[in-house]
């Protein structure tokens, strides 16, 4: 049985979900946890940035009732690629608990689901399969709209006693204190969501270079600012 299942979500594209999902996965793998990244994105960005072949059978095959072989990235870290098959009608109309059922047989210490932008169904599959959600938003108001929608859905699920994540935090992403909007973001969140735990991941070129070079964060630069911030997030993610 898998011990921790963490979904990284946020609705908006480009806010840092894949960077955070893969960074957290790399950190936990470096701490000797056996980690699987499940890429929920039709664009298969997580597989790509981890240096795995994004065209190999992965999450869509899993949701189709098969047992695709996860692709090994480094010791303790593997990935099931996303891909365009995730847009197939059979998957877009599948039961909301299909992924939760499919990962039940898996034996990892941690599964990290990297949610796509925009596609609520694929995101919902991950949220139902997860116990923890990292809700990613940068300081832009449109990103916060996306994050707020995820929070609303999580609250509703919990109030109704539905299956799925029971704990979540907001990850303020790409934060650069030179920008006025970024400086006030934490206080704005504290006012809007006073009971939700908040973390900050600062803007760090090393994070984007690791992704561009398709090298897991801890292999690329274990000591960079981004890795430091993500270690705090990763620790909270598995402390359930």
Q: Is 39 in the site for ligand ADP (CB under 6 A)?
A: no
Is residue 14 within the footprint of ligand ADP (CB under 6 A)? yes
Site for ligand ADP in 79-108 (CB under 6 A): none
39 Cα distance to chain centroid: 9
DSSP string over 15-31: SSHHHHHHHHHHHHHHT
The answer to whether 27 contacts ligand ADP (rule: CB under 6 A) is no
Positive or negative, the CA dihedral 150, 76, 47, 98 is negative
Contact region with ligand ADP (CB under 6 A), list: 94-102, 121-129, 187-195, 204-212 = 204-212
Greatest CA separation found in the chain?
49
CA triplet 171, 172, 176: central angle to 5 degrees?
Answer: 150
> What, of ligand ADP, Mg ion, none, does residue 218 touch, CB below 5 to 8 Å by kind?
none
Shortest Å distance, C-beta 152 to ligand ADP? 19
Using the rule CB under 5 A, give the single segment among 41-49, 83-91, 196-204, 217-225 that binds Mg ion: 41-49
**Least distance between Mg ion and beta carbon 65 (Å):** 25
Q: Pick from 17, 124, 174, 231 the residue near Mg ion by CB under 5 A.
A: 17
Note whether 18 binds Mg ion by CB under 5 A.
Answer: yes
Picked from Mg ion, ligand ADP, none, the partner binding residue 14 (CB below 5 to 8 A depending on kind) is ligand ADP
Q: Are 162 and 127 in contact (CB under 8 A)?
A: no
| E strand intervals along the chain | 4-9, 35-39, 71-74, 77-80, 110-114, 132-137, 167-175, 197-202
CB of 140 to ligand ADP, least distance (A): 12
Near Mg ion in 43-72, by CB under 5 A: 45
Helix and strand tally (H, E) in the chain? 11, 8
Give the Cβ contact number of residue 23 at 10 Å. Answer: 31
Comparing CB distances to ligand ADP, the nearer of 56 and 140 is 140
């Amino acid at each position: 049985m898998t011990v921790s299942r963490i979904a990284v979500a946020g609705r908006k594209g480009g806010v840092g979900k894949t960077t955070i999902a893969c960074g957290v996965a790399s950190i936990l793998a470096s701490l000797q946890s056996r980690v699987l990244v499940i890429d929920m994105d039709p664009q298969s960005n997580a597989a790509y940035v981890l240096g795995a072949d994004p065209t190999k059978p992965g999450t869509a095959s899993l949701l189709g009732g098969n047992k695709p072989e996860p692709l090994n990235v480094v010791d303790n870290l593997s990935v099931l690629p996303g891909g365009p098959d995730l847009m197939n009608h059979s998957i877009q109309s599948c039961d909301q608990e299909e992924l939760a059922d499919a990962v039940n047989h898996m034996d990892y210490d941690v599964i990290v689901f990297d949610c796509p932008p925009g596609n609520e169904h694929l995101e919902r599959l991950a949220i139902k399969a997860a116990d923890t959600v990292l809700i990613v938003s940068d300081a832009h108001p449109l990103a916060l709209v996306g994050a707020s929608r995820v929070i609303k859905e999580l609250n509703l699920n919990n109030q109704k006693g539905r299956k799925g994540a029971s704990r979540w935090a907001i990850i303020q992403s790409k934060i650069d204190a030179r920008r006025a909007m970024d400086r006030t973001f934490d206080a704005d969140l504290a006012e809007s969501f006073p009971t939700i735990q908040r973390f900050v991941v600062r803007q760090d070129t090393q994070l984007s270079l690791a992704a561009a070079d398709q090298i897991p964060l801890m292999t690329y630069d274990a000591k960079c600012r981004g890795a430091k911030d993500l270690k705090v997030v990763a620790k909270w993610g598995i402390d359930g």
